[in-house]
Amino acid sequence: MIVNSARFVISNTDVSKCPSEMRHEFAFIGRSNVGKSSLINMLTGQKSLAQTSSTPGKTLLINHFLINDQWYLVDLPGYGYAQRSKEGRKEILRIIKDYILNRAQMTTLFLLIDGRHKPQKIDLEFMDWLGENSIPFAIVFTKLDKLSANAAKHATGAYCAELLERWEELPPVFRTSSVDRRGRAELLDYIDELCKLPLE
């Protein structure tokens, strides 16, 4: 897929106020600082469509971007941000889960995982919750330019092996870097294929 246009449409905290048209929607989520904004900017070819962590006052909103006048890319709030209060973290999870459980047009959720780290409890628990609720998702390893080719292969392989101890099969897995742009074509092609399917 070639991305010809990407524009911000709306931000909100309430799933009932998200755009009402039935378009395919692909949401991106992960722990704060995982590289989500950088990945969204890399995929859309725009420098600052999504606000990076360094942006002061970065909001905790569900952000809708319309891509190619065809599908929505949704930037969900990052979870597990240690500097927020327990109440604040709970509120973010409530917004996220409300969106995921109630958004019929969400075709796939891309769960971003920093490719350098071992599986973290918070991500594993979140994946278990996705599985329990039959939410279609894919794993996107980020920041792989920070590892050598061998180390990246080893780290992501070990991560997947650990997941297979919990599950019978893996979801689709993408290996990316916003710096060297690896994984971009694979991710966009995957979205392109899913966009061809009718929305129920």
Q: Which of 12, 13, 52, 68 binds ligand GDP (CB under 6 A)?
A: 52
Bridge partners (DSSP) of residue 29 are: 111
Judged by CB under 6 A, does residue 184 bind ligand GDP?
no
CB of 146 to ligand GDP, least distance (A): 5
Judged by CB under 6 A, does residue 11 bind ligand GDP?
no
Judged by CB under 6 A, does residue 13 bind ligand GDP?
no
- How far the first Cα of the chain sits from its last, in Å, is 23
Q: Which of 64, 178, 183, 191 binds ligand GDP (CB under 6 A)?
A: 178
Contacts of 174 (CB under 8 A, 6+ apart): 110, 138, 139, 140, 141, 183, 186, 187, 190
Stretch that binds ligand GDP, among 34-42, 97-105, 118-126, 187-195 (CB under 6 A): 34-42
DSSP alpha helix (H) spans, the chain: 36-44, 86-102, 121-132, 149-166, 184-195
Secondary structure (3-state) at 76 = coil
Question: Could you list the residues that contact ligand GDP (CB under 6 A)?
Answer: 30, 32-38, 52-53, 78, 142-143, 145-146, 177-179
